[in-house]
Amino acid sequence: MYEQMDKDFVLSTYARNYVNFKQGINATLYDDKGKDYIDFTSGIGVSSVGHGNARLANVICEQAKNLIHTSNLYLIEPQAKLAKKLAFLSDLDMATFFANSGAEANEGAIKIARKYGERNFDNKKYKIITLENSFHGRTITTVKATGQKSFHKPDFSPYPDGFSYDKNIKKIYESIDDETIAVMIELVQGEGGVQPFDKKEIQELSSFLKKKGLLLIVDEVQTGIYRSGEFLATNLYEIEPDIITLAKGLAGGVPIGAVMTKHKDIFEPGDHGSTFGGNFLSTRAGLEVLDILESYKNSGLLDETYLYFEDKLEKIRLAYPTLFSEHVGLGLMRGLRCVDAKILTKAIESCFDEGLLVLKAGKNTLRVLPPLTISKDEINEGFKRMKSAIDKIS
Ligand SMILES: *Cc1c(COP(=O)(O)O)cnc(C)c1O
């Protein structure tokens, strides 16, 4: 009944599975028939503190009873606190603009880079280099920033100028020209296939750009907020980018995006804005999520969880060498490279039938992004289901 309603009234942009979830407890979801599913997706990296998190639910409730929104014309206390907390946890001297999504955060990053390029050089510099297989969002500009041809459909053209794509980090050096202002990268390509870049290569690129006075933008929409095991993948790679974007896990499911930059004076009133961005509800939720995850990390539990998870996933790869060629990723963003795309489709369906939610990335990667608070029992149960799902197709 609701499936038909959805088909009749909601625009069809997703290849939807019509399971009807009713409840969630940490990394376990329950559908309308009472069947349970272990969630290795966390709503694509969003439900960082799990489903039905009582602390998060309580602060959202309390905040909603007082103020949800007043507008950015007035001081928003939790917004200021969240911006300070982001600087503190990242250990970076940066100021933040709040938006509502990853794409919007990247739009902000692109605007910062363009203004920087306009103001700081004799000639206009506006070009941004990104990487093949990157993913930066779905707005007209961020889809153009995304280095995947299939996303640049002629149906939506013309796209904005000033974006080009390189095959790998090494190629970037040759592509920089007199109009280049920035390089925008993910440190671990998420949608592109859970592909981490080499730390040394990234550090070299970072210092090269610094020497040239050009900007490094790191899209941490997926890798940020402890997904990599550290607060930011930037911390793991030990670099200091000019601009960092965040979204997915930052407020545990309340829509939020953030662009942080060390160029704190780049914007003046009127340069950029957002009606909803940084409102009381989303920033209060963000503060609580960071509080929960900060102590989770400091207590050692996060590291324990991702090591436990890594070990279990590696055992799956070893058990099925004819299906999976490689175990990729880090922290709690991981994948198994399938030997072909057909096996991947079958594996995802079979996992679903067994009560396990997993994702696809790139052409042939089975991707897992569990809530960071997933319990050992849930990990054990999830991998038990993965094993029987794979047994059924192999
Ligand atoms: C998900 C994602 C985005 C887009 O975020 P939205 O909130 O869907 O706009 C951008 N960059 C990366 C790396 C992502 O993973």
Whose CA is closest to atom 10 on ligand 1? Answer: 136
Same domain, 48 and 119: no
Same domain, residue pair 112 and 128: yes
Average pLDDT over residues 370-377: 98
- Residue 83: closest CA among 231, 286, 292: 286
Residues 225 and 347 in one domain: no
Last residue of a domain, one of 249, 268, 298: 298
Give the model's pLDDT for residue 16.
95
Rg value, the chain, Cα: 21
Of 241, 275, 298, which residue sits at a domain end?
298
**Which atom, in ligand 1's list, is nearest to the CA of 186?**
13
Number of domains in the chain: 2
Does one domain contain both 62 and 209?
A: yes
> Is 233 among the domain residues?
yes
> Which residue's CA is the nearest one to ligand 1's atom 5?
102
Q: How far is the CA of 191 from the centre of ligand 1 (A)?
A: 9
What does the pLDDT look like over 167-214, one tens digit per residue?
Answer: 999 999 999 999 999 999 999 999 999 999 999 999 999 999 999 999
- Cα-to-centroid distance, 102 and ligand 1 (Å): 4
Match 């929104």 to its residue by tokens: 69
Is 90 exceeded by the pLDDT of residue 228?
A: yes
From 262, 278, 298, the end of a domain falls on: 298
Do residues 326 and 360 lie in contact, with contact meaning Cβ atoms separated by under 8 Å?
A: no
Ligand 1: nearest atom to the Cα of 44:
1
Specify whether 156 is located in the same domain as 239.
Answer: yes
Q: Could you tell me what percent of the chain has a pLDDT over 70?
A: 100
Query: Residue 301's CB: how many other CB atoms inside 10 A?
Result: 13
Mean pLDDT, to the nearest integer, of 85-101? 98
pLDDT for the residue numbered 391: 97
Residue 264: which domain range?
55-298
> Is 3 part of any domain?
no
CATH of the domain at 268: 3.40.640.10
Q: Report how far ligand 1's centroid is from the alpha carbon of 106 (Å).
A: 8
Residues 253, 173: one domain?
A: yes
Q: Is the pLDDT of residue 286 over 90?
A: yes
**108 and 245 in contact (C-beta within 8 Å)?**
yes
User: Partners of 188 in the beta sheet?
Assistant: 196
- Report the atom number in ligand 1 closest to the C-alpha of 104: 9
Amino acid at the residue 294? E
Kind of pairing, strands 243-246 and 333-338? unpaired
Residues 48 and 59 in one domain: no
pLDDT above 90 coverage of the chain, percent: 99
Question: Is 6 inside a domain boundary?
Answer: no
> Would 13 be classed as within a structural domain?
no
The answer, yes or no, to whether residue 51 has pLDDT greater than 90, is yes
Contacts of residue 281, Cβ cutoff 8 Å, sequence gap at least 6: 60, 63, 64, 68, 69, 254
255 lines ligand 1 (CB under 6 A): no
91 pLDDT exceeds 90? yes
Strand residue runs (E) in 67-203:
95-99, 127-131, 163-166, 180-185, 188-189, 195-196
Q: Is residue 14 part of a domain?
A: no
Residue 389 belongs to a domain: yes
pLDDT average, residue stretch 106-135: 98
pLDDT for residue 394: 85
> Cβ(227) to ligand 1 under 6 A?
no
CATH of residue 364? 3.90.1150.10
Q: Are residues 99 and 147 in the same domain?
A: yes
* Euclidean distance between CA atoms 340 and 363, whole angstroms: 8
Distance between CA atoms of 55 and 253, rounded to whole angstroms? 14
Same domain for 242 and 116?
Answer: yes
- Contact between 293 and 226 under an 8 Å Cβ cutoff? The reply is yes
Q: Does any domain span residue 7?
A: no
Work out which ligand 1 atom sits closest to the CA atom of 257.
Answer: 7
367 lines ligand 1 (CB under 6 A): no
CA–CA gap between residue 130 and residue 175 (Å, rounded): 10
Ligand 1: atom nearest CA of 142 is 10
Residues 270 and 351 in one domain: no
**Ligand 1 center to 254 CA (angstroms):** 14
Do the Cβ atoms of 344 and 359 come closer than 8 Å?
Answer: no
Do residues 94 and 185 share a domain? yes
Confidence of residue 104 (pLDDT cuts 50, 70, 90): very high
Whether 100 is in a domain gets the answer yes
Query: Residue 82 has what pLDDT?
Result: 98
Q: Note the pLDDT of residue 261.
A: 98
Q: Please provide the average confidence, as pLDDT, over all residues in the chain.
A: 97
Q: Does residue 52 surpass a pLDDT of 90? A: yes
pLDDT at 383: 98
* Nearest protein Cα to ligand 1, atom 8: 102
190 lines ligand 1 (CB under 6 A): yes
**Same domain flag for 241 and 344:** no
